[in-house]
């Protein structure tokens, strides 16, 4: 398909935008429309999946047949079989007459099954039979009937994850996924966001006879950086809201004014803004890098705080001052507030007096016993003298060398990155009521990456 044909389809179905991923999805829909293949449309809620089902039906040989859109998540589990396949009189309480189902009434047409991931497992088995043989049985009947219906399904959930959890039939997934179409989320469509906003505000202004809104350059940048978890539906609602409430302004809307209409909890993270995610196939790698940057920044701050604490504690004891002097390079760049300072800073050098290395002066650090008895002299082990620590219970003396402490610290540090990453994921899940989509957006990573991390760290989402 050439660009002119794609543009013609956009105008016919009111699709705004020129993002490459959007054009590709339209191109696939146009090509598959001429066949009777089953199509699975995936994409986030509010991204415009139903428009693609209408494109497929209108450009197919079934365009003169009936088209019906059904939201599987909006039909109660107890009645969905009757709605789709019909029922016989007396088949259940309230069935006072026989009734035809959607697969019977739309024979020769197209059925759009939205939110297919919400369909009960029993109904999935019935649907699979329709897709494979074109046969169905009414509820309460034993007679097999035939139908010629094309099925276009859509979902905003990951069906492969649902298959792994036993919530969706694997055979039905592969039967539906004959031709997949992915509708990109609004945040990945770049300047399409501004075009859609202008379209919505212009339509609203014409309907209510008010002046269309104009955005400043900084407001446009803010608008295009907003993640829009509700996609086009959220953008339209926000555009209409700001149009009516700011219609009396005689100047363009700036970023400060626009930010008042954007949910604060969903606005872009300033730290992650330093490392923008890449669109396309490498987006997941950039998302993981952003998460690691956040973890590393937190680790650096924690290490500085730990150094400050150790320096303050050791600086109050004679043996602590000797340790400070021995590891001068480690501490001479950390100021009282954790910022780097030169070794000549008086606030640092005042903690580094000359150390008496006489063996008659033992290196003793009493713990919780400031007025305790003097400890006996100890031997020197290599280049690092041991630090004697009194046991709190029986007063025994334990020799702990710097090597021992360093070894334990290295082991702890090797796990600190994973531990902080896991804590960030847990916090994001709790703040978003265990909804992965919004937790992933808060972390600045893809939902697929978040799912993999949840499995890696064995996080319980219940």
Taking CB atoms within 8 Å and a gap of at least 24, the contacts of 264-273 are 265/442, 266/226, 266/227, 266/229, 266/441, 267/226, 268/225, 268/226, 268/227, 269/444, 271/297, 272/444, 273/225
Domain of 253: which CATH number?
Answer: 1.10.8.60
Residues 19 and 35 in one domain: yes
Least confident of 88-102, 125-139, 149-163: 88-102
Question: 384 lies in a domain?
Answer: no
Is residue 376 within 8 A of residue 400, CB to CB? The reply is: no
Model confidence band, residue 170 (pLDDT cutoffs 50, 70, 90): very high
The total number of structural domains that make up the chain = 2
What CATH number is attached to the domain comprising 16?
A: 3.40.50.300
> Do 113 and 230 belong together in one domain?
no
Let me know if residue 79 belongs to a domain: yes
Q: Tell me what pLDDT residue 324 has.
A: 57
Say if CB 175 and CB 38 are below 8 A apart: yes
State pLDDT tens for residues 13-30: 999 999 999 999 999 999
Q: Is residue 103 located within the same domain as residue 213?
A: no
pLDDT at 369: 43
Residue 317 has pLDDT above 70, yes or no: no
Q: For the chain, give me the number of helices (H) and strands (E)?
A: 20, 9
What integer best gives the mean pLDDT of the chain?
78
Alpha helices in 278-401 (DSSP H): 283-314, 318-326, 328-331, 346-349
Q: Cα 176 from chain centroid? A: 26
Within-domain flag for 128:
yes
Does 170 lie in the same domain as 193?
no
Least confident interval from 149-153, 179-183, 246-250: 246-250
Predicted TM-score (pTM) above 0.85: no
Query: What pLDDT score does 289 carry?
Result: 55
Of residues 89 and 293, which shows the higher confidence score? 89
Model pLDDT for residues 220-229, shown as the tens digit of each residue: 999 999 999 9
Both 33 and 90 in a single domain? yes
CB 245 within 8 A of CB 420: no
Burial class (CB in 10 A: 0-12, 13-18, 19+), 178: middle
Residue 206: domain span:
188-268
The answer to whether residues 437 and 429 touch, using CB atoms and an 8 Å cutoff, is no
How many Å apart are CA 43 and CA 48, to the nearest integer? Answer: 8
pLDDT on residue 111: 97
**pLDDT at res. 273:** 40
Rg of the chain taking only CA atoms, in angstroms: 33
Q: What local confidence, expressed as pLDDT, does residue 326 receive?
A: 62
């Amino acid at each position: 398909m050439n660009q002119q044909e794609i543009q013609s389809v956009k105008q016919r179905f009111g699709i705004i935008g020129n993002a490459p991923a959007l054009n590709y999805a339209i191109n696939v829909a146009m090509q598959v429309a001429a066949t009777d293949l089953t199509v699975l449309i995936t994409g986030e809620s509010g991204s415009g999946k139903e428009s693609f089902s209408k494109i497929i039906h209108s450009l197919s040989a079934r365009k003169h047949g009936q088209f019906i859109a059904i939201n599987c998540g909006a039909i109660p589990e107890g009645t969905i079989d009757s709605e789709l396949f019909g029922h016989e009189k007396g088949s259940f309480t309230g069935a006072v007459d026989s009734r035809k189902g959607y697969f019977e009434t739309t024979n020769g047409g197209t059925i759009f099954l939205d939110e297919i991931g919400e369909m009960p497992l029993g109904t999935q088995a019935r649907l699979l039979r329709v897709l494979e043989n074109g046969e169905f049985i009414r509820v309460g009947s034993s007679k097999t009937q035939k139908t010629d219906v094309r099925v276009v399904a859509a979902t905003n959930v990951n069906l492969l994850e649902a298959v792994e959890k036993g919530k969706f039939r694997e055979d039905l997934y592969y039967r539906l996924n004959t031709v997949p179409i992915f509708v990109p989320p609004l945040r990945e469509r770049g300047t399409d966001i501004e075009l859609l906003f202008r379209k919505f505000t212009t339509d609203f202004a014409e309907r209510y006879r008010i002046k269309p809104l104009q955005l400043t350059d900084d407001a446009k940048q803010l608008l295009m950086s907003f993640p829009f978890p509700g996609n086009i539906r959220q953008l339209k609602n926000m555009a209409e809201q700001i149009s009516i409430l700011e219609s009396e302004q005689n100047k363009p809307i700036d970023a400060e004014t626009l930010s008042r209409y954007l949910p604060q909890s969903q606005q872009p993270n300033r730290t992650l803004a330093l490392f923008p995610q890449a669109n396309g196939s490498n987006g997941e790698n950039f998302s993981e890098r952003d998460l690691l940057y956040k973890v590393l920044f937190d680790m650096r701050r924690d290490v500085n705080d730990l150094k400050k604490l150790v320096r303050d504690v050791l600086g109050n004891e004679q043996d602590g001052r000797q340790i400070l002097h021995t590891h001068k390079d480690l501490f001479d760049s950390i100021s009282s507030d954790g910022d780097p300072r030169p070794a000549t800073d008086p606030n640092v050098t005042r903690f580094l007096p000359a150390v008496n290395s006489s063996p008659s002066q033992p290196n003793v650090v009493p713990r919780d016993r400031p007025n305790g008895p003097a400890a006996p002299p100890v031997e020197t082990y290599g280049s690092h003298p041991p630090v004697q620590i009194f046991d709190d219970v029986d007063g025994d003396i334990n020799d702990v060398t710097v090597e021992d402490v360093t070894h334990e610290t290295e082991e702890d540090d090797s796990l600190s990155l994973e531990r902080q990453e896991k804590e960030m994921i847990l916090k994001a899940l709790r703040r978003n009521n265990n909804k992965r989509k919004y937790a992933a957006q808060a972390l600045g990573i893809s939902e697929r990456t978040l799912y993999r991390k949840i499995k890696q760290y064995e996080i319980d989402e219940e």
